[in-house]
Amino acid sequence: MELAVHLENDKSVVYHEGDELTALEREKLSPLQAYFALNRESKDDEREYLKDKTYVDIPEDYLIDPKTKAWRRKKNCAKKTMGVLYSVSPKKRETFFLRALLLKKKFPLSYEDVRTVDGIPYGTFREAAVAMGLVRDDTEYKKYVSRASNFVM
């Protein structure tokens, strides 16, 4: 299952001209927003289970309810689904670092929680990724941009 990665106020919505309001209503929650809600609203037993899960782990035992757009536990766990995050261009700097954090961060409750490392809330996803040790400095970021541009060429 491909999982959306987007900044807090940067969610994509597909609609037909003249149908904007209906589309916005229909797309209340993205899978990422629903993941945060699942973590926030989970009860004791489920919370214990979710504490060891990253965003990409959720589709193994949960699916998106087509009506509510919320994650709900699968009744038959015999079929496993693998979660895969959409790729993000390093040129989309903050979204790129958000994606890197979502691959490692377990049980975040919000975007702010994703940016919090060892109890310290960082102002950007890049700062949080550096604090978490996912990247060292801008040299590594520039390396990713260079690789991406070579790939496009």
pLDDT in tens, 60-97: 999 999 888 899 999 876 777 899 999 999 889 999 99
Q: Give the list of residues 6+ apart from residue 22 with CB closer than 8 angstroms, or none.
A: 15
pLDDT given for residue 137 in this prediction: 64
Residue 127: strand pairing partners = none
**Per-residue pLDDT tens over the stretch 10-33:** 766 565 677 766 655 666 788 999
Mean pLDDT of all residues in the chain? 86
- 95-135: pLDDT as tens digits: 999 999 999 999 999 999 999 999 999 999 999 999 999 98
Q: Could you give the dihedral angle defined by the CA atoms of residues 45, 51, 54 and 55, in that order, rounded to the nearest 10 degrees?
A: 50
Q: Does the pTM exceed 0.95?
A: no
Q: Where are the domains of the chain?
A: 2-84, 88-152
Which pLDDT belongs to residue 24? 59
- The stretch 29-54 carries a mean pLDDT of 94
CB atoms within 10 A of CB 100: 21
pLDDT band at 150 (very low <50, low <70, confident <90, very high): low
What pLDDT, on a 0 to 100 scale, did the predictor assign at position 76?
74
Residue 77's pLDDT is what?
66
